[in-house]
């Protein structure tokens, strides 16, 4: 009884902690999120560049955009039309102060106290020439030196001269600005000044007498680089979020999670309640981790979240289904849970680790938008591992082990309908709701038609990717196929590599998607393909027992067709319920966001990659098995007194004749 009480206490504490994190930490995670223009209003500035040179206008646009980001913008983008630059941004608190400052030229020079030029910004690191930091109460200017030899020579000469001062100026006005006049002011025009006692090797630190806010304005200009031409502001206007406010998105995620989890509650009762709780925690954890990593919340991140939640539903549903099936067979709660966890353990771990591995590889290989998408895949996998694989299972065990939740009606099981095991009765499973003759389907050209349709769907959202993205996508695909092939060789003993074959087709579609998709959809194509690859691991992992059973039997075409039909029908049926729950979540987000086209495209890419890979790989596997079945045994020398015995190995299935 004491042990049961401890289990109940742990379960209750887990529920309370999950609710606490969802209710109190959720808003904090939302508040720390870097929100993009998709889900936040902002401003639009239009500038005119006094130049018709395309290169000059583009350089000016990049510098202005960089300055706006340095002012704290969470998202900023620009468009060029002749000599006009339009910049849309969000996240800047004091827009008026920024507008008054960012059109200055921003030329950084280092002079002596006689206002003679000693060095310009060419000796500094062009990516980050100057930074501002705090040292206690002092505000310190840091010059990040790149040409250390020149900087040492110039500072050594200055230390040896009678005039030992180095003065940092931003936009020095020849004939107007003078150090001798400005040095006596409390708020001088120059940024910082200091005496040089010896040559300086490496970065240079100078304390400024400006307030942090005043020094920051000049540092932003110098950090972004000098404008190549005169820039004037044409207009400034407020803009609204493209889709919806992030508060509405957050509300949609919570309502959608409750609605989708409600389906599991209806099917599995109390066991489904724990999953619904995990869905709420998953939302908090996902957006909390992305906020900590600085990944901005845009429509692509939201699509990555929904697809990752689909993985969570798919890895959880078979466990709950088998748990209930064991109860219907007359087993007790603890045995039913142990059987369900044991039979799905390997497939679930493989799927989650695949998602994490793909996200990690993507973060190592890709940059910019693809880096954010890869980060979404990685974070989603970590959340699935921590919540749905580890914590949710622990809560289920504690809930059942406490003994206080032993009423089978709590799990949507009628005790009156259970078989009497002592009398030899057994539970009769209902036939599969889905009934597709996959054997006939795999004989024709339908798999190739499916591939053509999937490719055509991807072309509809295509653009032109950079050549570097092609090689990176191919590299990622080759690395993953090699890892999968080695794993299958040792774990599944499948000499023909059924799993790498499926993943090869999956990545073939995925690489095409990532390559042909433009800057807008390349990242989400990566998310969709990565998660569909995780689904393939679930499929293969759950088929392991069926392959082993078939390998002990004599294989013929009728038995092979029955095996394929039963396997793929069961797989299709098990995906129906999670797909409906995912659709509920996506629908809730779509209603609140107004425009959720990106998630729809992501889902199509994921489904297209998964269906294409499974059907094409199944067709090749099916035809190879049939070919080996029809193959006649090789003639050989018969030994007297011994019966002839031949064995054909077909994809790991041993047929003895």
DSSP codes, 543-554: HHHHHHHHHTS-
In a domain, 32, yes or no: no
Residue with the bigger pLDDT between 432 and 133: it is 133
Whether 167 and 252 map to the same domain: the answer is: no
Residue with the bigger pLDDT between 62 and 471: it is 62
Q: What is the mean pLDDT of residues 454-469?
A: 53
Q: Name the most confidently modeled range: 336-340, 467-471, 506-510, 637-641.
A: 336-340
Per-residue confidence band for 422, with pLDDT thresholds at 50, 70 and 90: low
CB burial of residue 636 (10 Å; 0-12, 13-18, 19+): exposed
Residue 143 and residue 126: Cα distance in Å, rounded? Answer: 11
Please give the pLDDT value at position 444. 67
Whether 467 and 590 map to the same domain: the answer is: yes
Is the per-residue pLDDT at 622 higher than 90? no
Beta strands, E only, 50-120: 75-81, 84-90, 108-111, 117-120
Whether 186 and 312 map to the same domain: the answer is: no
Whether 278 and 204 map to the same domain: the answer is: no
Residue 489 and residue 497: Cα distance in Å, rounded? Answer: 7
Residue with the bigger pLDDT between 650 and 316: it is 316
Residue with the bigger pLDDT between 487 and 412: it is 412
pTM of the model: 0.75
Please give the pLDDT value at position 236. 92
Residue 204 and residue 130: Cα distance in Å, rounded? Answer: 10
Residue 632 and residue 630: Cα distance in Å, rounded? Answer: 6
Is the per-residue pLDDT at 465 higher than 50? no
Q: What is the mean pLDDT of residues 369-381?
A: 81
Whether 263 and 339 map to the same domain: the answer is: yes
Whether 600 and 485 map to the same domain: the answer is: yes
Residues 6+ apart with CB under 8 A from 175: none
**Sign of the torsion formed by the C-alpha atoms of 65, 68, 70 and 74:** negative
The neighbour count for residue 534, using CB atoms within 10 Å, is 30
The neighbour count for residue 508, using CB atoms within 10 Å, is 19
Whether 344 and 198 map to the same domain: the answer is: no
Whether 277 and 327 map to the same domain: the answer is: yes
In a domain, 48, yes or no: no
b/e per residue, 101-118, with b = 16+ CB within 10 A? bbbbebbbbbbbbebeeb
Residue 11 and residue 4: Cα distance in Å, rounded? Answer: 11
Please give the pLDDT value at position 389. 87
In a domain, 89, yes or no: no
In a domain, 430, yes or no: no
In a domain, 149, yes or no: yes
Q: What is the mean pLDDT of residues 622-648?
A: 53
Residue 52 and residue 543: Cα distance in Å, rounded? Answer: 64
Is the per-residue pLDDT at 634 higher than 50? no
Per-residue confidence band for 89, with pLDDT thresholds at 50, 70 and 90: very high
Whether 258 and 195 map to the same domain: the answer is: no
Least confident among 137-151, 356-370, 471-485: 471-485
Q: Model confidence over 494-522: pLDDT tens digits?
A: 444 455 556 555 655 555 555 555 555 66
Per-residue confidence band for 424, with pLDDT thresholds at 50, 70 and 90: low
Please give the pLDDT value at position 593. 73
The neighbour count for residue 656, using CB atoms within 10 Å, is 11
Helix (H, G, I), strand (E, B) or coil at 110: strand
Mean pLDDT of the chain: 77
Helix (H, G, I), strand (E, B) or coil at 643: coil
Is the per-residue pLDDT at 177 higher than 60? yes
Spatial CA neighbour of 333 closest among 402, 417, 389, 426: 402
The neighbour count for residue 220, using CB atoms within 10 Å, is 23
Is the per-residue pLDDT at 551 higher than 70? no
Please give the pLDDT value at position 56. 92
Least confident among 118-127, 155-164, 229-238, 621-630: 621-630
Q: CA of 78: how far to CAs of 35, 44, 46, 367, in Å?
A: 17, 9, 10, 19
In a domain, 252, yes or no: yes
In a domain, 161, yes or no: yes
Q: What is the mean pLDDT of residues 368-397?
A: 83
Q: What is the mean pLDDT of residues 268-280?
A: 89
* Structural domain that includes position 599: 246-407+442-630
The neighbour count for residue 199, using CB atoms within 10 Å, is 15
Q: Name the most confidently modeled range: 366-380, 413-427, 550-564.
A: 366-380
Instruction: Determine contact, residues 75/87, Cβ cutoff 8 Å.
Output: no
Instruction: Determine contact, residues 375/293, Cβ cutoff 8 Å.
Output: yes
Whether 165 and 255 map to the same domain: the answer is: no
In a domain, 76, yes or no: no
Please give the pLDDT value at position 644. 43
Residue 426 and residue 502: Cα distance in Å, rounded? Answer: 37
Q: What is the mean pLDDT of residues 203-230?
A: 88
Residue 530 and residue 510: Cα distance in Å, rounded? Answer: 8
Whether 476 and 355 map to the same domain: the answer is: yes
Please give the pLDDT value at position 508. 56
Whether 171 and 260 map to the same domain: the answer is: no
Domain count, the chain: 2
Q: What share of the chain is helix, strand, coil (3-state, %, to 5)?
A: 60, 10, 25
Question: Degrees (nearest 5) of the Cα angle 23, 27, 29?
Answer: 115
């Amino acid at each position: 009884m004491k042990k049961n009480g401890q289990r109940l206490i742990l379960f209750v504490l887990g529920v309370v902690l999950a609710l606490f994190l969802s209710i109190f930490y959720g808003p904090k995670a939302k508040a720390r999120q870097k929100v993009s223009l998709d889900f936040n209003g902002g401003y639009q500035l239009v500038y005119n560049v006094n130049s018709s040179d395309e290169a000059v206008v583009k350089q000016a646009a990049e510098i202005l955009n960089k300055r706006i980001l340095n002012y704290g913008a969470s998202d900023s983008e620009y468009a060029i039309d002749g000599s006009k630059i339009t910049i849309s941004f969000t996240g800047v608190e004091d827009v008026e102060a920024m507008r008054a400052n960012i059109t200055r030229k921003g030329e950084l020079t280092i002079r002596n106290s006689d206002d003679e030029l000693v060095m310009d910004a060419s000796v500094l690191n062009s990516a980050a020439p100057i930074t501002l930091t705090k040292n206690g109460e002092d505000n310190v200017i840091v010059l990040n030196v790149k040409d250390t030899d020149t900087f040492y020579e110039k500072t050594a000469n200055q230390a040896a001269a009678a005039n030992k001062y180095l003065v940092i100026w931003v936009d020095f006005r020849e004939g107007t600005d003078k150090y001798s006049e400005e040095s006596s002011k409390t708020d001088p025009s120059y940024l910082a000044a200091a005496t040089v006692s010896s040559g300086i090797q490496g970065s240079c630190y100078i304390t400024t007498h400006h307030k942090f806010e005043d020094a920051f304005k000049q540092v932003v200009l110098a950090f972004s680089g000098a404008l190549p031409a005169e820039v004037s502001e044409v207009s400034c206007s407020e803009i609204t979020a493209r889709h919806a406010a992030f508060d509405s998105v957050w509300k949609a995620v919570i309502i959608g999670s409750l609605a989708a989890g409600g389906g599991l509650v209806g099917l599995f009762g109390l066991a489904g309640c724990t999953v619904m709780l995990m869905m709420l925690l998953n939302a908090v954890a996902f957006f909390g981790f992305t906020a900590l990593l600085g990944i901005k919340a845009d429509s692509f991140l939201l699509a990555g979240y929904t697809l990752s939640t689909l993985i969570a539903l798919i890895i959880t549903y078979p466990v709950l289904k088998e748990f209930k099936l064991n109860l219907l067979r007359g087993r007790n709660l603890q045995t039913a849970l142990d059987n369900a966890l044991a039979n799905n353990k390997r497939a679930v771990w493989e799927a989650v680790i695949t998602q994490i591995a793909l996200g990690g590889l993507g973060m190592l290989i890709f940059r910019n938008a693809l880096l954010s998408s890869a980060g979404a895949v990685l974070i989603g996998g970590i959340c699935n591992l921590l919540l749905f694989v580890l914590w949710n299972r622990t809560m289920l065990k504690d809930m059942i082990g406490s003994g206080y939740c032993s009423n089978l009606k709590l799990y949507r099981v009628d005790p009156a309908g259970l078989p009497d095991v002592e009398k030899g009765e057994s539970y009769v499973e209902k036939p599969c709701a889905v009934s597709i003759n996959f054997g006939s389907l795999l004989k024709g050209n339908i798999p190739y038609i499916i591939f053509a349709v999937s490719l055509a769907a991807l072309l509809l959202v295509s653009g032109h990717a950079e050549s570097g993205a092609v090689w990176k996508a191919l590299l990622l695909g080759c690395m993953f196929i090699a890892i999968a092939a080695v794993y299958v060789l040792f774990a599944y003993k499948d000499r023909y590599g059924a799993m790498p074959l499926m993943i090869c087709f999956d990545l073939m579609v995925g690489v095409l998607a990532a390559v042909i998709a433009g800057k807008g959809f390349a990242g989400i194509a990566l998310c969709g393909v990565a998660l569909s690859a995780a689904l393939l691991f679930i499929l293969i992992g759950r088929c392991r027992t069926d392959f082993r059973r078939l390998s002990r039997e004599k294989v013929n075409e009728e038995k092979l067709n029955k095996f394929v039909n039963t396997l793929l029908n069961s797989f299709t049926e098990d995906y129906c319920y999670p797909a409906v729950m995912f659709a509920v979540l996506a629908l809730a987000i779509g209603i609140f966001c107004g425009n959720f086209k990106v998630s729809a495209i992501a889902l199509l890419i994921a489904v297209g990659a998964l269906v294409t890979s499974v059907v094409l790989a199944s067709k090749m596997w099916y035809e190879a098995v049939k070919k080996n079945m029809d193959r006649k045994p090789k003639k050989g020398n018969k030994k007297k007194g011994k019966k002839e015995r031949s064995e054909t190995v077909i994809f790991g299935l041993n047929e003895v004749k």
